[in-house]
A and B are shown apart, each in its own frame.
Chain A
Amino acid sequence: MVELKKGESLIEANVWDPGDSKEWATPIKPLEEKWKLLPAFLQVKGLVRQHIDSFNHFINVDIKKIVRANELVTSGADPLFYLKYLDVRVGKPDIDDGYNITKATTPHECRLRDTTYSSPITVDIEYTRGTQRIKRNNLLIGRMPLMLRCSNCVLTGKSEFELSKLNECPLDPGGYFVVRGQEKVILIQEQLSWNKMLTEDFNGVVQCQVTSSTHEKKSRTLVLSKHGRYYMKHNSMTDDIPIVVIFKALGIVSDQEIMAHIGIDAKSQNRFGASLLEAFNLKVYTQQRALDYMGSKLVVKRFQSATTKTPAEEARELLLTTILAHVPVDNFNFQMKAIYVSMMVRRVMAAELDKTLFDDRDYYGNKRLELAGSLISLMFEDLFKRMNWELKMIADKNIPKVKAAQFDVVKHMRAAQITAGLESAISSGNWTIKRFKMERAGVTQVLSRLSYISALGMMTRVNSQFEKTRKVSGPRSLQPSQWGMLCPSDTPEGEACGLVKNLALMTHITTEVEERPVMILAFNAGVEDIREVSGNPINNPYVYLVFINGNVLGLTLNHKHLVRNLRYMRRKGRMGSFVSVHTSYTQRCIYIHTDGGRLCRPYIIVENRRPRVKQFHLDDLERGVRKFDDFLLDGLIEYLDVNEENDSFIAWNEEHIEEGTTHLEIEPFTLLGVCAGLVPYPHHNQSPRNTYQCAMGKQAMGMIGYNQKNRIDSLMYNLVYPQAPMVKTKTIELTNFDKLPAGQNATVAVMSYSGYDIEDALILNKASIDRGYGRCLVYKNSKCTVKRYANQTFDRIMGPVKDALTNKVIFKHDVLDTDGIVAPGEQIQNKQIMINKEMPAVTSLNPLEGQSTQVPYTAVPISYKGPEPSYVERVMVSANSEEDFLIKILLRQTRIPEIGDKFSSRHGQKGVTGLIVDQEDMPYNDSGICPDMIMNPHGFPSRMTVGKTLELLGGKAGVLEGKFHYGTAFGGSKVGDIQAELERHGFNYMGKDFFYSGITGAPLQAYIYSGPVYYQKLKHMVQDKMHARARGPKAVLTRQPTQGRSREGGLRLGEMERDCLISYGASMLIMERLMISSDAFEVDVCRTCGRLAYCSWCHFCQSSAHVSKISMPYACKLLFQELTSMNVVPKMILEDY
C-alpha cells in the first residue's frame, strides 16, 4: 500500500469542484510563452532520447535480467559441474590495441580508425573445477558496441568545451553506433502490439488473434468462428481445434462451467450450443480425452528428441508453454488461460454481431515501436544462450576425458562470438534471432551525414515491418491516431510512402517499467483478483475487467473510481509517469500499460476548465528555478500514450477549453517532426509541398557539425558561407538548425527573365556567385590498408619514380611525397597516384617452398579519378583493429555554382540554374538592389506554396528591421505586422517594388515581388553527372561500348529510338548506330555450308573455295558460336546485294 502524506486523500483531487461561479465567466488568459516548456522538454529528453533511454535500459537493467534468466550452465556429464553467472556489467568504452593493451577511446577516434566504439561486457561467475568451487570476477565475455551519449559513453555529461576536446560536436544528438568506423543507426521498428487481442475480419472469417511474446517464446494464437462454431488455431497444431476441446484440456470440463466463462445469457448460449455439441460428437468429455485429441493434431517435429512423452503430455506441454505463452500458469492451474480463451471467444462473438467492434490494425494504440535497446537485447540474449549452450557442449565432451589438467570452463569462454555477433548484426543490419525464427534485414542503416538535418531526421525515422510491394492503402495512409505522435508530412514518396515515418517533435517512446508495483497499486485501488471469482461475474455488465500489459489482472465494480485513482497516483509520482490507464467502454475493460515501445507525448493537465500550469510556473521555468521534471512531479503535465489520448478531451489552445476538457496541448507546432519543422509557414502550403521539402532538406548542403573539419567521411558536402534563415521557426531554434544551417538567404525577384527560367529553372546573378553565393566544398576520401601476410611478406609503399632521361619525377608520381603518399595541399589531377602501394605477388604461406628472400611485388597504386582536379586536405596514417596500417586521404574540391546545379527553397520548390547573368543585366529596384536570383512566377499557381510568399515578405521586413521573423507552424509573425514593418521602412506593403530592366534601362511595367528567401543548395550538381562520349572503352565479352558514366560508357540508342529510325526508314543510320559504331566485326562465312569460317578456311567443308567476308555485330557472332557449342547450328545464306 502506498503511504499517503497527511492531508492527502485519494478522493480529494477527484471531487469535481465547480468553484466560484464568477471565476467561470472570466475567459482563460492564454499562457504566454507556453512553448518555453518545449526547450525544457528537449533539454531533458532530447531529440533522440528514445534511442538513448532504450539503450540505457538495456545495458543497465535488461542485460542483468537476461543473464539472471540464463544464469546456470550445467552438464549432463558431471552432476557436480555448474557455472553460474553472478553479475554482469557493461564497462566504459575502450579499444584493444593488441598485446592485451587497452586504452580508453573516443567515438571520433573510432570513426577515424575504422574501429568499433565498444565497451567490454564483464561477468562475475562461480563454477566448479573438479570438486573445487571457484569464483572469478570481471571475466570478459564479449564487447558491446556502445550507443553514443548513452550512460556509459564518454560523451555523456560533458560540457561543450570538453566535447570539443574529444573532437565531438556538442550539437550532435548521439543515439547511433560507430561500428568499424561507420556510423550506424538502428531504425525504430514499428510492429503490431503483442499480447493484445485483435479482432478482425479475415476473408469473411471473424477471428481474434493474439501474438504472445515472452523472453522465451513468440507465438500466435487465433480463435475463429467457422460455420457457427468456434475453434482455436495455432501453428503447432495441424488442424483447428474446437474451442470446447481447448476448454476441457485447460481443465474447465463441465459444459456449465464453460458457459459460465462464455456468458450465460440466452444469446450466448444459443450461439455457443453448436460448439458444445461438436465436442460431444467428438466424444471429448474429460480433460484427458481433450489432451489426447489435441495430441493427435500436433505438428510432427522434425527433430524428435529422445524424450518419451505421450502425445497428450506433449499437448499439455504445449498449452503450458506455447499457446498464449504470455498468460501465466502456475502449478498447472490453467484457469487464467481458460479465462483468456473465453474472452477471445466473447470478442469473436461480439464482433460477429456488431461489425464496429473489429479492431483497427493501423490504429497506433495497437502498435509498438521497437528501439535499439530491445533489438540488441534480443540479439544479445540469443548470443548469450548460444555461448552457454556451447559451453555446455564443451563440458559434456571434455569432462569425461581424463586429462592432466582438470577441466576449467573459463579457458573455453571466448569473447569473440558475442563481440562478432553484435558487431556484424549492427554493421550489416541482418537481425537473425534463432529462437524466435526471426530474420530481418535492413534493421540498421548508415547514418546519413549529408546535412545536420538529414542525420537528425534519420534518428527519428520509424520503419514499418510491412511489405513495400503490396498495394494496400491502410498502413500507408495517415491515421488519425498519429496526431502529435508522428509527423504528418515527413514520409518519402514512392514505394516506401507512408511506411517510413518520422516521430513528431515531442514524441517519446516508453521504456519498460516494472509492472509489479502497479499491480499492487491497482489491487489496493479496488481491483479484485480474477482467480477468486467464478466465471459468472466476469460477464456481468457492470463489472469491468482490468488488464495489465495484456494480461487479466482482475475486475472492478467501480471502473471510474479505479481509473481516477490510478491516474491520480501517477500524477503524484507514485508510479512511473509513462504508465497509461484507459477505459474501453465497448469491451468493458480497463487497460493498464507499463510496457515499452508505446508512443506518448506530454500534455498540460486541465482541471475545472483551468490549466494547471499557471503563468508563475512558466516564469519559474524561465528563471531556471523549475525544470521540466518538476512540472511532471507536481502533476501539472503528464504523458499520454495513444490509447489514453483517445480517452481524453484535449484542447489545442486555451480558448477551446470547455467543460469536460482534461488536457491542453503544449504547442500545436510540435505535431510536426524535425524536418517539417524547417518549413516556415507550413500551414499555408499545399501539404505535398511540405512532404517534398522534408525529402529535400536532407539533401541540402551546409554544415554537418562543429567537428566537420576533423572528419574524414567518404563524402561530405559543405557550404563555404552558410547562413541562418531570415525567417525562422521555433523548431529551427530547438533543433539548433540556426547553428548548423544548410542554405543561404538569397534576394529573390519573382519575375520572368530571358526564357532560361522555364520549368522551374532559376536565374543567378554572376556578381553574387563571384562574391561567394552557393559556393560549396566537396570532400571525398580514399583509403588503403598496408597489410602483413602470413608468409612474412608485407605491403610496401614506394617513393616517386623519376624519369630516366629528364631526371624529373614522372607525371603520375608528381604529387607524391618522398614517402610515397601524396602531400597535403597538393592539387591532384586525373590519373595521378596518391599512394604508391605495392603488394607481394604471393601472400599465402606455402609450406612446400619455404621462404624465398626475393618476393616479386606488383604495383597496386591508389590513383585519383575525376574530370576536375582535387586538393589534398589531409593525410592520416593510423592502425585499424586488425593492426594493419590504415592510410586515409581527404580530398577537397571547391565548387562554384554553374548552370545545371540544383537549388531549392524550403517549400518543396526545386529548380536548376538555367542561366547565370552578369550583374549589369539583372533588374534592379529604386534603391539599387539587384536580386541574387530570379524565380519564375509560374512556380506559384499550381504549387500553391503560399508559405513561400510569406517567407519572402517576412524576410524582407526582417532585413529592414534587423531581426528574424518567425514562420512557426500554426503561429509565426502575422502578415499584418510584417506589412506594417515594410511600410515603416518606406517599402510597398505588398512587398512589390518598382524595378528597372538592367538590359534596356527602362522601368518594368509590373511591380516585382522581391525579397530574401532561404535557398538550399542540393547535392545534385552537374559536375557529378555530366557525361558524353565520342570514343571510349569497350566491354571485353561483347566488344560493345561499356555502360554507365563511371566506366565512361556510351549513350544507348535503345529499342524505342531504333523503332523511330525504322519507321523513318533510315536503315543506314541504324546500321551505323547499331553495328559500325558499336561492335562491327569481320567474319568469314562459308557459302556452301553457311557456317562461320576461320582465316578464309571453312573447317566443315575443308575448303576455302566459297568463303566470303562479311561484317556483322560481334555479339551476333558470339551468339552463333554459343549456339554451336550447344549443338545448334546456325547457318547463314549469303546472297548478292
Chain B
Amino acid sequence: MSSTKRKEPLLYMEEHRVKEDPQDYGLADDVFNMEVFKKKLQVAIIRNDEDGLEFDMIGVYPAIANAFRRLMLSEVPSMAIEKVYIYNNTSIIQDEVLAHRMGLLPLKADPRLFAYRTEESSEAGTEQDTLEYELKVKCTRRKDASKDQSNFDDIYKNHKVYSGHLKWLPKGKQAQIYSESMVNCIHEDILIAQLRPGHELDLRLVAVKGLGKDHAKFSPVATAYYRLLPQIKLNREVTGKDAYLLQSCFSPGVIGIDENECAYVKDARYDSCSRNVYRYPQLEDSVTLGRVRDHYIFTVESVGSLKPDVIFLEAVKVLKKKCRAFIDEIEAE
C-alpha cells in the first residue's frame, strides 16, 4: 500500500491501556495545509465486492475519517417503508409490531433516483418520492393434505409470510422507469409473520427516502467502521516452543515461523489485537504491539441497495455539501 516509507505515528497497546508515543505530539499541532494534506492522504482499496468494501485511508485526522464513518451510518439516504396502511390483519401479530417489521425490510430501490418527501407533499406522495407496495396474503388449509401429515408446509398454504410476498404497485410512470427487481426487497426470505388458516394480511406499504439519523431502517449500511492498522514488532528473537505459543496468541497468519523455528511478523494487518501475549510472562517483553494512528482501515458493509463504494462516495458528497453550506454560511456573514 504505502510505497514510500514514512514515519508512522504509533499508539502502543500495553497490557492494560493504550499509550501514545511519547515522541508523537499528535496531529493537533499541525497547521492545516492543503498541499501537505494532499501529499499525505493516500487511499487504497483492498477489497470491493457485493457485501463489503475494505479500503485504507492513510494520513488524515481522526475527525475526517470519523466524519465519513458517521455520514455513512446516518446521513446517506436510503429507501424504507415508512407508512403501513392496514386494511386487514387477522394474524396474531399486532398492527404496530407488524408495521415496525415492515419498516425494517431492506429495499432494493436506489435512493438516488428519488426525492425526499417534504412538509408540503401530499399524503399520497408522487412518483418521484414514493414507492408503493402491497402485501396480500391469506392462509388456507391445503385440501390435498392428508390427515397424518404433521409438517405445517404440507398442511397449510401461505402459513409463512416472507418479504418475497411483497408486491410493488407502480405509481404513475414508475412502471416504465423501474423494473420489479429494481425496487423489491433485497432478500426474499425474510420471515415477516406466521399465519394459520383464516388469518389474512392485507396491507399497503409506502416507502420513502430517509436518513439513518431519523431511524436506523434508513441507514444504507449494515455497519461502516474503521480500525487502525495494527503493527507488531518483535523485540527479540522468539524460537522453539515459545514461537508457536506466540503464533497462537495472534490471529492466524499474523505470525510466521521460519525454518529455524524462529517467529517473525508475517502480516499484522489482520490481527484482531487480542493482546493475549501479555498472558504469558515469557512472551510479555518479546513484542511491542502498536497501531498506526493515522492509518484507517475502513470496512463498509452495505445493506444491499447501494454498492458499498457508492455509499462511501455518497458520504463524501454529503460532506462536501455540508462544507459548502458551512462556507456559504460564513461568507454570508
Contacts and interface: CB of A to CB of B under 8 A. Distances in A.
Interface of A: 709, 720, 766-767, 770-772, 775, 777, 825, 871, 873, 892, 894, 918-920, 924, 926-928, 930, 982-983, 986-989, 994, 996, 998-1007
B67 to A, nearest CB: 8
A924 B227 CA distance: 10
Tell me which of B86, B216, B219 has the highest count of chain A C-beta atoms within 10 A of its own C-beta.
B216
B279 interface: yes
A918 B18 contact: no
Contacts of B69: 920, 1001
20 contacts: A709-B92, A720-B97, A770-B215, A919-B74, A919-B212, A924-B225, A926-B272, A927-B272, A928-B223, A928-B224, A986-B272, A987-B272, A988-B275, A1001-B65, A1002-B62, A1003-B228, A1003-B291, A1005-B18, A1006-B16, A1006-B18
B13 A983 contact: no
B213 interface: yes
Nearest to B13: A994
Contacts of A986: 251, 272, 274
A770 B227 CA distance: 25
A1132 to B, nearest CB: 61
B216 A926 contact: no
Contact of B70 (A770, A892, A920, A1003): A920
Contacts of B213: 918, 920
B173 interface: no
Contacts of A871: 94-96
B18 A777 contact: no
A1001 B63 contact: yes
Contact of A994 (B16, B86, B273, B279): B273
Nearest to B249: A983
Interface string B188-224: 0000000000000000000000001101110100011
Given A996-B226, A998-B70, 8 more contacts: A777-B97, A825-B89, A892-B94, A919-B216, A928-B223, A987-B274, A1004-B18, A1006-B18
Interface string B98-111: 00100010000000
Interface in B39-69: 62-63, 65-67, 69
Main DSSP-derived SS at the B contact region: mixed
Nearest to A999: B66
Given A920-B69, A1001-B62, A1003-B18, A926 B273 contact: yes
B273 A1000 contact: no
The 5 closest A-B pairs by CB, nearest first: A1001-B66, A986-B272, A770-B216, A928-B225, A1001-B62
Interface string B71-103: 001100000000000100100101111001000
Given A1002-B62, A1005-B17, A771 B104 contact: yes
B282 interface: no
Nearest to B16: A1007
Interface string B269-283: 000111110010000
Given A919-B216, A1001-B66, A1001-B69, A989 B94 contact: no
Given A920-B69, A920-B74, A987-B272, A1000 B13 contact: no
Interface string B2-33: 00000000010100111100000000000000
B299 interface: yes
A994 B18 contact: yes
Interface string B152-177: 00000000000000000000000000
A772 B89 CA distance: 20
Contacts of A988: 274-276
A999 B67 CA distance: 9
A9 B17 CA distance: 73
B267 to A, nearest CB: 15
Nearest to A771: B216
A918 B74 contact: yes
B97 A894 contact: yes
B87 to A, nearest CB: 10
A468 B70 CA distance: 58
B63 A989 contact: no
A717 to B, nearest CB: 14
A986 B251 CA distance: 6
A1004 B67 CA distance: 17
A775 B93 CA distance: 14
Tell me which of A772, A871, A1000, A1007 has the highest count of chain B C-beta atoms within 10 A of its own C-beta.
A1007
A989 to B, nearest CB: 5
A153 B321 CA distance: 72
A930 B219 CA distance: 15
A236 to B, nearest CB: 65
A771 B212 CA distance: 12
A503 B8 CA distance: 65
A1007 B96 contact: no
Nearest to A721: B97
Given A892-B94, A986-B272, A1007-B17, A766 B223 contact: no
A871 B291 CA distance: 54
Contacts of A766: 216
B225 A989 contact: no
A991 to B, nearest CB: 11
Nearest to B297: A926
Contacts of A1003: 11, 18, 228, 291
Contacts of A1000: 62-63, 66
A1023 to B, nearest CB: 15
B111 to A, nearest CB: 18
Contacts of B96: 871, 894
B95 A767 contact: no
B18 A1007 contact: yes
A775 B225 contact: no
A722 to B, nearest CB: 13
Nearest to A928: B225
Tell me which of B73, B219, B291, B299 has the highest count of chain A C-beta atoms within 10 A of its own C-beta.
B73
A770 B274 contact: no
B317 to A, nearest CB: 17
Given A920-B73, A986-B274, A894 B94 contact: yes
Contacts of A772: 100, 104
Tell me which of A720, A770, A919, A1001 has the highest count of chain B C-beta atoms within 10 A of its own C-beta.
A1001
Contacts of A1007: 16-18, 275
A769 B315 CA distance: 24
A1021 B283 CA distance: 52
A988 B17 CA distance: 13
Contacts of B227: 926-928, 996
Interface in B241-288: 251, 272-276, 279
Contacts of B215: 770
Contacts of B63: 1000-1001
B312 to A, nearest CB: 15
A1006 B17 contact: yes
Nearest to A921: B70
A1009 to B, nearest CB: 12
Nearest to B62: A1001
A964 B67 CA distance: 38
Contacts of A987: 272, 274
Nearest to A983: B276
Nearest to B224: A928
Nearest to B18: A1005
A926 to B, nearest CB: 5
A775 B74 contact: no
Contacts of B66: 998-1001
A777 B16 CA distance: 43
A924 B18 CA distance: 15
Contacts of B100: 720, 772, 775, 894
A1002 to B, nearest CB: 5
A770 B217 contact: yes
A1005 B96 CA distance: 42
Contact of A928 (B11, B19, B216, B299): B299
Contact of A919 (B73, B291, B299, B301): B73
Contacts of B216: 766-767, 770-771, 919
